[in-house]
Structure 1
Amino acid sequence: MAPPTVRDLLDQRGRHPFAMLRVESLEEAEAAAKAGVELLSVPPAMVFDRRFREVAPDAFIFPGDNFYEIGGTDDFLRWAFPLFKHGADALYCSGALATVRAMADHGLPVCGHVGLIPAKRTWTGGFKAVGKTLETAQLVWRQCRALEEAGAFAVEIEVVPHSITRLIAERTDLFLISMGAGAGGHAQYLFADDVLGQNRGRIPRHAKVYADFAAEQDRLQRMRIEAMGRYVADVHAGDYPAPQHLVDCDADVVSAFADWLDRNA
């Protein structure tokens, strides 16, 4: 099957709750695709890897990076066109409205970002919910309206009170991707690191952990250290290499080579 289109996402708003993950490797992308995750946020480099579509042929993908890693409007356009050419279904943009407008004017499907925008968190007080007061709820609404008017088809709405998200969803034509913003979003979005229990730092309140990869990685690291330690001990004791690890040649070749070295070395 082909990935869903932008039109498919918009037509299914409120009818089908989409699952979305941020994946960082081909292994995670393949696992997400086989698990039925429909939407993937991916590092831009992954789009150019021909193996990606082999492992995740049906996923709708949003390559994305922080705006300060890309630059201004012209930089974003130079960044976006090759990604779209190589199969990106939409482009994430937390840059200026003028940038969103320019990308949309060129026919590029754009996803903006509202609420808690980590790269711009200084304006809203750090890593905390946005929209718990009337003033900040109005800010989130104005952000959505501005992005919609600029031509975005979707927004990531992050750490916004679920009641505020629901009211916005009822009054916008945007496709809302909820990261910690409640079931009013049309897609639910988490990082694979959190889902897999790979995050060793602070786990966000909205994250749900489904596996304990960190413990497994610790176990594997202990196995690495133990195996490498035994290798070092074998080398130091002269037990490696043993005869079964060696290649040799006929004795007459060794003798002839030794004679040659004696005459020529």
Structure 2
Amino acid sequence: MSRRTSVYDLASRKGQRKWLQLHVDNAAEAAAAVEAGIEILSCEPDHHLEFIRKAAPMAFLSVGMPHGAVASREEAIRLGFRMLERGADAVYCSHSPRFIEAMAREGIPVTGHVGLVPNRATWTNFRAVGRKPEEAVAVMRAVKALENAGAAAIEVEVVPVELADHITRNTPMITMGMGCGSACDTQYLFSSDVLGTHAGHYPRHAKRYADFMALEAALQERRVEAFRAFAADVASGAYPEAGHQVAMGEADFERFLTLSQAP
């Protein structure tokens, strides 16, 4: 697009297209995502945020509000506006609907979360949520609570495909699907899972398209090799060579000695 993707753009094309979405960790990943045609990004509100925004000026950017960062509606509103000022197009919030409603009433686009919500996983453990009818009803009630609070979008994580499809068809919110098949409005993954940047657990819905751990290990070996070669050259006198330093003419140096001894 020739302008930044907006909430209106996403909402007006709900049910008409599948949007690609990535959670990125830095500006390099954001730039690569944009070049690959991915129009929806998410990130943390850390020191990378402004650089990510600059690297992806036209992308729709949902920025996470740290869970527990606010303890009142006023604090939520204040932090929400601050995140918009820093470049967010929407504020991801896993707090209760009362905080989301407070921000939404001020025109702050908010992304809610249902299903497997990592910040609340003590209540569910890290597993698929909504397989049983009673639990699926609870998920749907949570969806409606967020919808009624005014959320613009909702992350739907690791729920059955049938439930994710039902949610998507029965809410005006933009559904951001992770581990829900292809039922939601966006197909959402973390760049760290796509790129293989970590040695930790990879969830069932993740698919690695690269092995950056191996690439980084190879780069680290090259770093060590280069540093050892540098150290060896210094020890042997091979570095620095004449071309690596600046020389002072003999006459100029003598003049310096004379001047330095003057009273």
**What is the TM-score normalised by the length of structure 2?**
0.92
Q: Which moved more, 1:64-73 or 1:148-157?
A: 64-73
Maintained 8 Å contact 1:48/1:86: yes
| Distance of 1:71 and 1:191 partners within structure 2 | 28
Counterpart of 1:12 in structure 2 is 13
In structure 1, runs of 5+ residues without a counterpart are none
Task: Single out whichever of 100-109 and 126-135 deviates more from structure 2.
Answer: 126-135
Structure 1 residue 76, shift from structure 2 partner: 1.7
- C-alpha displacement of 1:244: 1.8
The share of aligned pairs that are identical, in percent, is 40
Find the residue that maps to 2:183 and give its secondary structure.
coil
Q: Distance in 2 between matches of 1:3 and 1:223?
A: 40
Alpha-carbon distance, 1:109 to partner:
1.2
2:232 counterpart of 1:233? yes
Give 1:71 deviation, angstroms: 4.2
Match of 2:242 in 1: 243
Shift of 1:113: 0.5
Tell me whether 162-171 or 10-19 shows the greater mean CA deviation. Answer: 162-171
> What corresponds to 2:127 in structure 1?
128
1:37 corresponds to: 38
Secondary structure at the aligned position of 2:68 is classed as: helix
1:159 aligned residue = 158
Could you tell me whether the CA contact under 8 Å between 1:130 and 1:160 is conserved in 2? yes
2:59 maps to 1:69: no
Distance, in Å, in 1 between the alignment partners of 2:47 and 2:114 is 25
| 1:190 match | 189
1:46-90 CA-to-partner distances (Å, cap 9, x unmatched) read: 6863x5454312211111133223444222211111222454221
Superposition RMSD in Å? 2.1
SS of equivalent residue, structure 2 residue 4:
coil
Aligned to 1:58: 58
Q: How far apart, in 1, do the equivalents of 2:76 and 2:172 lie?
A: 24
Q: Is the 8 A contact 1:110 1:152 kept in 2?
A: yes
Deviation of the 1:171 alpha carbon: 2.1
8 Å contact kept, 1:46–1:52: no
* Residue deviations 1:147-198 (CA, integer Å, cap 9, x gap): 0011112110111111211122222222110011221111011111111111
| Partners of 2:170 and 2:120 in 1: CA distance | 25
Unaligned runs of 5+ in 2: none
Q: How many residues align?
A: 262
Q: Structure 1 pair 79/155, CA: closer, same or farther in 2 (3 Å)?
A: same
Per-residue deviation, 1:45: 4.5
**Are residues 1:97 and 2:97 paired?**
yes
Counterparts of 2:72 and 2:209, CA distance in 1: 38
Query: In the aligned structure 1, how far is the partner of 2:48 from the partner of 2:70?
Result: 16
Match of 1:204 in 2: 203
**What secondary structure sits across from 1:178 in the alignment?**
strand
Q: Is the 8 A contact 1:47 1:83 kept in 2?
A: no
Q: TM-score, normalised by structure 1?
A: 0.91
Structure 1 position 133, deviation (Å): 1.5
| Alignment partners' CA distance in 2, 1:133 and 1:244 | 74
